[in-house]
């Protein structure tokens, strides 16, 4: 029996997409509710095409920004549509190692030189303290059992090295320096981990509006590896069963146009099994973080 694409189906697809569900998730629920896959796919493509055209979004943007482009909201992103293998940033030749559309994840090598990694660790070392996480019900910070690393924050531009790295990240991700939080450095000792979490602030928490006054939501994260731990310590994305192994000077980038689990950006730092793991994290806000 042949199925036909009705205006109601198109309407439903549009609602799903604007609610933050990626095309794959929408396709899945369509087939689960009895739509033939080819019909579902055709309906999805037609609807998305119109959705993009109505909003003046270039379908090419999807290749650059992943499905975030569907939400018509800019997010930080390396320019990948020309399929570059190396991005020349002047003071660094960054290699594109791996990219995933949904969730938007890009693994990059040679973001920092080994010397920069060493200098950053040395600058951070004396200021490390047991990591706090933002308590979203009040907007204050607290020690969190899910995060057993030691950490510290630099002010943006606090040292010439921070400034240089921040400007490089701004060019890499095409996102203003002013929208970045100061670099955070974390050190994990053997056994330490960062349980899976989202980096955006949960809109349902009462403390979130206070946090958002300074720069708005987080929309992207760059985790830079400052050393190569002997074993363990991968950055994991449980929703897509992806692990990124830490390698000195490399980084994993991910973005999230919406503060919603449908972005599939749940991620964590797996327990370090041997040696130490050091990372520097750059969080990017939608607005100026002053
Ligand atoms: O250490 C990692 O691999 C992840 C760090 C992280 O999730 C963060 O800093 O927000
Ligand atoms: Fe995180």
3-state SS class at 269: strand
Asked if residue 21 lies in contact with residue 51, where contact means CB atoms within 8 angstroms, the answer is no
Q: Where does ligand 1 bind, in terms of residues with CB under 6 Å? A: 186, 194, 199, 221, 223, 235, 267, 269, 279, 281
pLDDT tens, position by position, 15-72: 887 766 777 788 899 999 999 988 998 898 888 888 777 766 666 665 555 555 555 5
pLDDT tens, position by position, 75-115: 999 999 889 999 999 999 999 999 998 899 999 999 999 99
- Ligand number nearest CA of 186 is 1
In DSSP notation, 90-105 reads SS-EEEEEEEETTTTE
How many CB atoms within 10 Å of residue 98?
Answer: 12
The pLDDT of residue 135: 63
Between CA 221 and CA 91 the distance in angstroms is 21
Tokens of 158: 């606090």
Using the predicted structure, report yes or no on whether residue 123 has a pLDDT greater than 60: yes
Between CA 231 and CA 63 the distance in angstroms is 34
Asked if residue 75 lies in contact with residue 256, where contact means CB atoms within 8 angstroms, the answer is yes
pTM score of the predicted model: 0.78
Q: Where are the alpha helices (DSSP H) in the chain?
A: 7-18, 23-32, 37-54, 61-65, 114-125, 160-173, 208-212
Q: Where are the beta strands (DSSP E) in 166-290?
A: 184-188, 194-197, 218-225, 231-232, 235-237, 242-244, 251-255, 267-269, 272-274, 277-285
* 197 Cα–ligand 2 center, Å: 6
Between CA 236 and CA 265 the distance in angstroms is 10
Closest ligand 1 atom to the C-alpha of 197? 7
Interface predicted TM-score (ipTM) over 0.85: yes
Between CA 27 and CA 48 the distance in angstroms is 12
* 283 Cα–ligand 2 center, Å: 9
Q: What are 156's strand-pairing partners? A: none
3-state SS class at 70: helix
């Amino acid at each position: 029996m042949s199925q036909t694409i009705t205006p109601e189906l198109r309407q439903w697809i549009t609602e799903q997409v604007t609610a933050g569900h990626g095309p794959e998730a929408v396709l899945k629920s369509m087939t689960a509710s009895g739509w033939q896959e080819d019909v579902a796919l055709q309906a999805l493509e037609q609807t998305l095409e119109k959705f993009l055209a109505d909003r003046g979004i270039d379908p090419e943007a999807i290749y650059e920004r992943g499905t975030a482009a569907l939400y018509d909201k800019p997010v930080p992103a390396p320019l990948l549509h020309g399929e570059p293998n190396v991005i020349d940033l002047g003071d660094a030749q960054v290699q594109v190692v791996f990219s995933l559309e949904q969730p938007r994840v890009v693994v990059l090598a040679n973001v920092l030189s080994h010397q920069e990694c060493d200098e950053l660790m040395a600058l951070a070392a004396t200021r490390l303290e047991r990591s706090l996480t933002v308590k979203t019900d009040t907007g204050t910070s607290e020690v969190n059992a899910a995060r057993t690393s030691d950490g510290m924050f630099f002010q943006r531009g606090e040292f010439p090295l921070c400034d240089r790295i921040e400007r490089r990240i701004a060019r890499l991700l095409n996102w203003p320096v002013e929208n970045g939080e100061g670099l955070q450095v974390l050190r994990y000792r053997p056994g330490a981990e960062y349980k899976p979490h989202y980096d955006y602030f949960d809109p349902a928490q009462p403390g979130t509006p206070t946090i958002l006054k300074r720069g708005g939501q987080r929309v992207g994260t760059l985790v830079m590896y400052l050393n190569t731990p002997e074993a363990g310590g991968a950055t994991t994305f449980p929703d897509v069963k992806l692990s990124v192994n830490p390698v000195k000077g490399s980084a994993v980038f991910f973005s999230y146009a919406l503060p919603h689990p449908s972005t599939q950006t749940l991620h964590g730092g797996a327990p370090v099994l041997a040696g130490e793991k050091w990372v520097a994290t750059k969080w990017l806000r939608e607005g100026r973080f002053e």
